[in-house]
Each structure stands twice: as C-alpha cells, then as structure tokens.
A and B are shown apart, each in its own frame.
Chain A
Amino acid sequence: MNIINILDEIEKVDGEIYERLNPRRAAMKSFYNFGSKMAVAAVPLALGSMFKKAYGQTTSTVIDVLNFALTLEYLEYYFYQQGSATVGLIPAGTPAVAAINTIRDHELAHVNLLKTAITSSGGTPVSFTAANFDYTAKNTFPTVFSNYPTFLAVAQAFEDTGVRAYKGQAPALMGSPSVLQTALQIHSVEARHASHIRQMRKAPAGGGVTALKPWITGANDSGVPQVDAVYKGEDNVVQAGVNIPSLGVSTAAATESFDEFLVKADVLAIASLFIKS
C-alpha cells in the first residue's frame, strides 16, 4: 500500500487534505519521516487516524461532500460495469443480468448527476477511470470477477457502505436543501440496491447465504469477515436515547430497523482498499 498515492487520490477529492492533516503543509515532511519509521502493518491504522483527524472535526462544504459521493459512485459504477461486461460471471439467461444492469445504470446516472451538480456549483469533479480501481482489494477478493458469489459479496459491501456514507453526510448538506434532497433520493436507491443484492446472495447460484436478509442484522451479517469495517456499529440498539428492544422488539429487529451512518473517514478507509496505489 502506498499511502502517498492514496493521499494524492484524496487530494483530488479534498484539495485541502494536506492542510487538514496538518495546518502547515511543510509538516507533511514529518509525516513522511514518521511513515518510514513505522512497521508496515501499522500503516493502515495510522492512515485511518489521519483521516479521522482530517475530516472528523471539519465542516465539509457541499462540493467536498459531492466529490466524496462521486468517488463512491465511480467505485460502484466501474465495478458493475466491469462485472456486467465479464462473460460468464453473471449467469446468462437469469434475472441477475437485468438486475446488475439496472444497478449499473443507476450508478452511472449518479456519476453524471453529481458531476453536473459539482460543475454547476463552481467545483471541479474528481475524475476516475476503471484503471484507478482494484476490485480485488489487493488480492483480498482475487475471484471478484470470476466467481459470481464473490462478486455479489463485494457488491453488497459497496451498497451497504454507500447507504451509510450518504446518511453520514446528510447533516453537512443542511444548508443546501435541494442538494440534501437529491442526496437523500440517491441514498434510498442505494438501499433498494442493497436489499436486492442481499436477496441475490440468498439464492443458490448467488452463494446460498440463506441467513441473509434484505436488511442488516447486527454487526456484519454478510458472512465475509473481510468487510467488518462496512458494518461497524450496525449492532447499535439505542436511538436518540431510546433503547429500542425495550419498546417490545427483539434485539435483532432493533438493529435491523435502524441503519447506522458512517463518518467520511471510515468510508474513505473502506474505499481506499479498492483504489489502486
């Protein structure tokens, strides 16, 4: 993993990333030095904490949020684009073909919509091509485009992450009601996708993950431990101080009935696994 390349990618999203990481650009030097002294295994952790520092307490501008969303939409679009174009991956002659195409087309529509919105707001949209992404996540999912159940497992992670990401950004858009509404209208489409992908994974051809539901039960119900970060905190059962099981539902239903949000840094940490270094 090359941290500097990832930071460069993030800089495309957030032009002030270096300033956010440290007010003095020159201080990045200390970061390079720091990195060189660290054990390789500790790098992702440090990166995560730097992102937290970068985004956790900064008010995002609307364009920042839109570019963040655009990054995720590119990630999803090229994933489905590549999947649908890979002969033999999605079982021919089954409803899965149309479903994946529908989702792919929505992601492309989101890409185009966000690009337009960013440009019309005076911003510069981030730009990605298929070549920027590594959907094996550095060989975590080596068969992502050759094994249909693996493809769907990664799809589920992307959709559930997307839902959480948009949710987490809603407050940052409160000053722009029409943009907020648009983001919410994308958010619920991602949730529809997630619901359907989960149903596809239940089918025998999709992997036969029979315990899976269209909604998220507890923390990481995906059966894929590599995506724990996608489901971090989904087992929460307290909403606005109200303990949901105390209202008369099971703990499982309590976790299912409220989808949790993810902060930008956590989403970027997940997305960065799929961005080539």
Chain B
Amino acid sequence: MKNFQQEDQELLHKESGILTAPLQRRSFLQYAGAGAAGIALLAAGCKKDDGSEGLRVDGVNLGSGDVGILNYAYALEQLEAAFYDAVVKAPYSGITPAELSLLTDIRDHELAHREFFKKALGTSAIIGLEVNFTAINFTQRASVLATAKAFEDLGVSAYNGAGKLIKSADYLVLAGKIVSVEARHAALIRDLIENGTFANSEVVDANGLDKARTPSEVLSIASAFINTKINASNLPS
C-alpha cells in the first residue's frame, strides 16, 4: 500500500511551529479525555508502527470516545481531499474555468479539514489511508461530479449522524463548522450536475431534514473507495 510515513515525517520536520504544537495537542487531548499529552511528542516517532500493527490485526483502529469520532471525520476528510486533489491535478475534459475554480476551492477546504484533524489529533491520529479510485473516470465530467456528489452528501450525513456521539461541546461546534461547508459543497456539486437539485428529495425528506447516517453506514459506503481496512468497533454509539 501507499505509505505516507515519509511524507508525514517530512511534514513534521517542516513545521516551524513544532514547539507550540504539543500545547495545541495538550488542550485538544484534555477535551478528548486522554491526558497523555506529556508524551505526545515522544510518541510521534512510533505512531506509524502502532498503526501498522493495528492494520495487521483488525484494520486501522479509529479509537474510542471523541478521539474515535474525530478520527472517523479525519478518515472521511482524507478520502475527500485525495479525490479533489486528483480532480484538480488532472481536470476532466471540457472543464470550464468557473468549474475548475470552484473545485479547486473545495480541494483547498477538504485539505484544510484533513490537515486540521491530523494536527488536532496529534499522536492519536490514524495513518494516511490508501484510497481506491479505480471506479472513477477522472477524464469524464459526469463520473467526477457524480462521485463528488456522493462524497459530499455522504459527508453531510456522516457529520449529521455523528454530532450526538460527541461529548465535547467544542468539538460538536467544530463538527458543525465543517458540516455546513460540506453541505454548501454538496449543493453546489448537485447544481453543477443539474441546476435546482441542491436540496431535492434525494437528500431532504418531507420534514425538511437532511440525511443522517451512523458511522457504520457511512464506512460501509465509503469502503468502496478505501483499501485500508478501518476498525470502527470502538466508536461510541
């Protein structure tokens, strides 16, 4: 599988704010209920080994409590960021400048989300996932936008379903700050496919409610695009 270890290590060294990073992690971990911040930096060197170990046994373990939910979100953001990165690097044929600009924005948002979770989770973060985009025809507008729609709607439903599983008010609000941006993406992508479908009955029910999915429902759908096995068995429910 593709290994992000080298890239991660490079990133770690490049981070000019490395001295302040443990502080941010500390405040994060306090909220998350894991107090091992003091060893956060020391542990950074062996996290990949831990991840690989978990991988051999029963997949990448998302963990429990708020850390588990944040890793769950991190996994989804990894998927989305990797997808849009591929889209922007080699745009589909016939893409308009307006579409490329919007998709580049979305790529940047997903990258910000992914890197935010990675940094916030610190040593509790799962490894970089190996994605599987073989079903997507990146040269074809219809294929790319259909996938984008599926990912965005899935992301919205994932955050909507995960909110009640979060114990920290701060992280609940953070999830809220992200989910509405995902919903803005979802609406835009839908409108690019067919104007006016931003909130149609596929995604909004008769009570005016968007979808909410449990982590297991979401991961089951997402697994078609992720080779790395994910163990969500310790997530709160």
Contacts and interface: CB of A to CB of B under 8 A. Distances in A.
Interface in A63-120: 95, 98-99, 102-103, 105-110, 112-113
Nearest to B160: A184
A186 B209 contact: yes
Interface stretch (A14-22, A42-50, A132-140, A170-178): A170-178
B123 to A, nearest CB: 15
Given A167-B173, A196-B199, A259-B177, A191 B212 contact: no
Contacts of A244: 112, 116
A107 B208 contact: yes
Contacts of B76: none
A170 B173 CA distance: 7
Interface SS of chain B: helix
A248 B115 contact: yes
B113 A257 contact: yes
Interface stretch (A23-31, A142-150, A235-243, A269-277): A235-243
A182 B188 CA distance: 23
Interface residues of A, number: 61
A62 B114 CA distance: 33
A181 B163 contact: yes
**Range for the number of chain B residues in contact with chain A:** 35 or more
A259 B28 CA distance: 20
Interface of B: 17, 23-24, 27-28, 102, 105, 108-109, 111-113, 115-116, 119-120, 156, 159-161, 163-164, 169-174, 176-188, 191, 195-196, 198-200, 203-204, 206-212
Given A244-B116, A257-B178, A259-B177, 11 more contacts: A106-B208, A107-B208, A174-B164, A189-B210, A195-B198, A215-B109, A240-B27, A240-B171, A241-B23, A249-B108, A261-B177
Interface of A: 95, 98-99, 102-103, 105-110, 112-113, 163, 166-168, 170-171, 174, 177-178, 180-182, 184-196, 199, 213-215, 239-244, 246-250, 253-254, 256-261
